[in-house]
Amino acid sequence: MTSPYTLVFDLDGTLVDTAPDLITALNYVLDREGLPPVPMASARNMIGAGARKLIERGLEAEGRAVKPADMDRMTADFIAYYADHIADESRPFEGLLDALDLFAAQGHRLAVCTNKLEWLSKRLLDQLDLSRRFAAICGADTFGVQKPDPTIFRETVARAGGEVKASIMVGDAGTDVGVARRAGVPVIGVSFGYTDVPIADLKPDRLIHHMRDLPAAAHSLMTA
């Protein structure tokens, strides 16, 4: 058995398939603006940089731009609606719970590092009965910086009681690969998440296509 590591997870598109509820909230806001809905399939890759960016991308898909004050209002409307419907359809990816159970049994720490707001992240994980599994849940507003700024990763690991030199990032997009590279830690990419650039093109240290493959990928990095 290897020494304890801290496994740091992205949230949307990595731990949980949140696309159904996020896109429903986006389309709620677009409908209020008199715009047509964004199809679920094409909207999945708009997710990953926070609520405001998701709305911007949704507007861009319709060839629209709005003033900052209107964007502020739309973002507030989005968050209010999304918070009330945060786990209507969102579910952990298949195989996740077994992987987390195995890591916990091996003595490894688990943490969440996301560009979602912290309180929304905790609400989602609470409703899915996942919060208790993580030593730290940190979001875009926790430390005042977002991924790929390495500060959010380092502070998340510290809050979880771990050490950066014994940590691994797990994520689905460029911000996750970027934060790992800047923090000087290995990264496991998941191919089933949300990204406008295929995760394989970003050259993560390991690439998995199902959560059942995560323990083996992490172990190979721990023992490399």
User: Can the peptide bond before residue 148 be classed as cis, meaning omega within 30 degrees of 0?
Assistant: yes
Shared domain for 201 and 112, answered yes or no, is yes
Cβ–Cβ under 8 Å, residues 177 and 195 = no
Spatial neighbors of 87 by CB under 8 A, at least 6 apart, are 21, 124, 127, 128
What is the pLDDT, as a whole number, of residue 148? 96
User: How many structural domains comprise the chain?
Assistant: 2
CA distances from 155 to 69, 78, 143, 176 (A): 32, 28, 8, 15
Q: Domain boundary residue among 67, 85, 103? A: 85
pLDDT given for residue 62 in this prediction: 77
Query: Averaged over 13-36, what is the pLDDT?
Result: 93
Q: Are residues 78 and 142 in the same domain?
A: no
pLDDT at 50 over 80: no
pLDDT given for residue 2 in this prediction: 67
Establish if 180 belongs to a structural domain.
yes
Q: In whole angstroms, what is the distance from residue 83 CA to residue 62 CA?
A: 25
pLDDT at 33 (0 to 100): 86
Strands 91-92 and 16-17, how do they pair? Answer: antiparallel
pLDDT value of residue 218: 98
Q: Is 208 helix (H, G, I), strand (E, B) or coil?
A: strand
Q: Angle, to 10 degrees, between the axis of helix 214-222 and the axis of helix 96-105?
A: 40
Binding residues for Mg(2+): 10, 12, 172
Q: Which residue has the higher pLDDT, 2 or 52?
A: 52
Helical segments of 85-137, H only: 96-105, 118-127
1: confidence class by pLDDT, cuts 50, 70, 90: low
Last residue of a domain, one of 85, 102, 123: 85
pLDDT tens digit sequence for 185-223: 999 999 999 998 999 999 999 999 999 999 999 999 999
Mean pLDDT of the region 123-146: 97
The pLDDT score that the predictor gives to residue 53 is 87
Return d(Cα 204, Cα 122) in angstroms, integer.
27
In this structure, the answer to whether residues 57 and 101 fall within a common structural domain is: no
Give the structural domain span for 63.
18-85
**Residue 156, amino acid:** T
Active-site residue set: 10
pLDDT for residue 94: 98
Q: Do 46 and 141 belong to one domain?
A: no
The confidence score (pLDDT) of residue 39 equals 87
Residues 80 and 111 in one domain: no
DSSP output for 133-167: G-SEEE-TTTSS--TTSHHHHHHHHHHTT--GGGE
pLDDT of residue 64: 83
Average pLDDT, the chain: 94
Planar angle of CA 183, 196, 173, nearest 5 degrees: 25
Binding site as annotated, residues: 10, 12, 172
